[in-house]
Amino acid sequence: QTVVTQEPSFSVSPGGTVILTCGLSSGSVSPSYYPSWYQQTPGQAPRTLIYTTSTRSSGVPDRFSGSILGNKAALTITGAQADDESDYYCVLYMSSGIWVFGGGTKLTVL
């Protein structure tokens, strides 16, 4: 069974930079898994941030960027703002029609 791993929680200071990662319990994350990232605030539906590793969805500020770092996908937030405080989910598409969500990272901005 494929398990996608994320940090359970992370903290960043306003204006700071944070890198959230998305890994696989066995193996490496590569662009062939089409890593995507979603932001969710309490009580709201998720919002699509990044897809195909590094493409920003329409309307997403350029302080959000995606990449592959080592054997993981990464979401970098540069110049964090208070309203970036959210849960962030990584999703891998296994190209067999199967989608696997990571457990999510709760980001605190303080």
Partner 1 sequence: QVQLQESGPGLVKPSETLSLTCTVSGYSISSYYWGWIRQPPGKGLEWIGSIHHSGSTYYNPSLKSRVTISVDTSKNQFSLKVNSVTAADTAVYYCARFYLDRGVITTWGQGTLVTVSS
Q: Which of 64, 89, 107, 109 contacts partner 1 by CB under 8 A?
A: 89
What is the β-pairing status of strands 99-101 and 105-109?
unpaired
Buried b / exposed e across 61-94, counting CB within 10 Å, b at 16+? Answer: eeebbbebeeebbbbbbeebeeebbbbbbbbbbe
Which of 20, 25, 30 lies closest to 68, judged by CA?
30
Nearer Cβ to partner 1, position 18 or 104? 104
99 is a site residue for partner 1 (CB under 8 A):
yes
Please report how close the Cβ of residue 26 comes to partner 1 at its closest, in angstroms: 16
100 is a site residue for partner 1 (CB under 8 A):
yes
Report yes or no: 60 and 49 within 8 Å, Cβ to Cβ.
yes
Q: Which of 5, 19, 30, 34 contacts partner 1 by CB under 8 A?
A: 34
Nearer Cβ to partner 1, position 13 or 32? 32
- Residues in contact with partner 1 by CB under 8 A are 1, 33-36, 38, 40, 45-48, 51-52, 55, 57, 89, 91-93, 95-104
